[in-house]
Amino acid sequence: MSKQRRPDRRGFTLVEVLLVLVILVVIASLAVTAYGPIQKRAYINAAKTQIGAFETPLEAYRLDVGDYPSTEQGLEALRTAPSDLPNEEKWAGPYLGKAVPLDPWDQPYQYAYPGTHEEGKPDIWSMGPDMMDGTDDDVGNWSTTQ
């Protein structure tokens, strides 16, 4: 009599595969949930850095022209000479090497001079994650709590 050999069964059962999938889904959902606040913090820090980077070219503009750009002239005055400058020869720009960047939420940075937060200085801010001006999540050169 010959014995029939059963082939060795190798591999995972359906229950084992489903258990691994459930564990992976739980881990992925935890990672995605944690990613939102981390990304928000990274965007806020990027906005603060960019706002700080505007200060040097604005100061160079002020030294050349005699004052900061007006609210109407805005940050674009760092790239092209405003048409309403009393003495265009004093403008020695461009003061920014590239176009005025957008904030991390793809919105333009806001600019006002004279500012309301520090006397004699302009206010520069991003409307923040909610993209609405004047709310608590705005990030500006006066921000200390974000």
pLDDT digits (tens, 9 = 90+) for 63-75: 999 999 999 999 9
Segment (H or E) for 126: strand 123-126
Q: What DSSP string runs through 41-101?
A: HHHHHHHHHHHHHHHHHHHHHHHHHSSPPPTTT-GGGGTS--TT-S-GGG-----SSSPPP
Q: With 0.75 as the threshold, say if the pTM is over it.
A: no
Confidence at residue 142, expressed as pLDDT on a 0 to 100 scale: 85
Confidence of residue 2 (pLDDT cuts 50, 70, 90): low
Confidence of residue 14 (pLDDT cuts 50, 70, 90): confident
CA distance 83 to 74: 12
CA distance 53 to 113: 17
Q: What percent of the chain has pLDDT over 90?
A: 47
Confidence at residue 75, expressed as pLDDT on a 0 to 100 scale: 95
Confidence of residue 94 (pLDDT cuts 50, 70, 90): very high
Residue 46 dihedral angles phi and psi, to the nearest 5° = -65, -40
The answer for residues whose C-beta is within 8 angstroms of residue 128's C-beta and 6 or more apart is 44, 47, 105, 135, 137, 138, 139
CA distances from 60 to 8, 55, 90, 108, 141 (A): 79, 9, 11, 22, 17
Please give the mean pLDDT across all residues of the chain: 87
Q: Which domains does the chain have, with CATH numbers?
A: 22-140 (3.30.700.10)
pLDDT digits (tens, 9 = 90+) for 17-63: 888 888 888 888 877 776 778 888 899 999 999 999 999 999 999 99
Side chain identity at residue 122, one-letter code: P
